[in-house]
Amino acid sequence: MKRIEETIRVVDLETGYRTGNKTTVITKGVCASLYSGELTCLLGPNGAGKSTLLKTLTAFLPPIKGKIYIEHKPLEDYSDAELSKVIGVVLTEKLSLNNMSVEELVGMGRSPYTGFWGHMNDTDRKIVEESIVLVGIENLKGRMIQTLSDGERQKVMIAKALAQETPVIFLDEPTAFLDYPSKVEIMQLLQRLAREKNKTIFLSTHDLELALQIADKVWLMDKIHGVTIGTPEDLSLNGDMSKYFHREGVAFDRESGLFKICHKIDKRVKLVGEGGRFNMVKKALGRHGIEADSNLCGEVIIEADDNGYKVNGRPATTIGELLDIVNNLI
Pair 191, 320 in one domain:
no
* Residue 226: per-residue pLDDT: 86
CATH number, position 234: 3.40.50.300
Among the three residues 194, 229, 254, which one is the final residue of a domain in this structure?
Answer: 254
How much of the chain, in percent, has pLDDT values that exceed 70? 98
pLDDT tens per residue, range 127-173: 999 999 999 999 999 999 999 999 999 999 999 999 999 999 999 99
Pair 294, 157 in one domain:
no
Pair 222, 286 in one domain:
no
**Could you give the number of structural domains in the chain?**
2
First to last CA, the chain: 60
Domain extent at residue 310: 267-329
Say whether pLDDT at 89 is over 90. Answer: yes
Say whether pLDDT at 1 is over 60. Answer: no
d(CA 308, CA 295): 21
* Residue 299: per-residue pLDDT: 87
DSSP string, 272-291: EE-HHHHHHHHHHHHHTTEE
- Is 143 part of a structural domain of the chain? yes
What mean pLDDT value characterizes the chain?
Answer: 91
Among the three residues 254, 285, 314, which one is the final residue of a domain in this structure?
Answer: 254
Q: Is 69 exposed, middle or buried (0-12, 13-18, 19+ CB in 10 A)?
A: middle
Say whether pLDDT at 96 is over 80. Answer: no
Among the three residues 199, 229, 254, which one is the final residue of a domain in this structure?
Answer: 254
User: What pTM was computed for the model?
Assistant: 0.84
Pair 41, 146 in one domain:
yes
Q: Pick the more confident residue, 39 or 240.
A: 39
Pair 62, 135 in one domain:
yes
- Is 261 part of a structural domain of the chain? no
- Is 152 part of a structural domain of the chain? yes
- CB proximity list for 97: less than 8 A, separation 6 or greater: 105, 145, 146
Pair 288, 309 in one domain:
yes
- Is 259 part of a structural domain of the chain? no
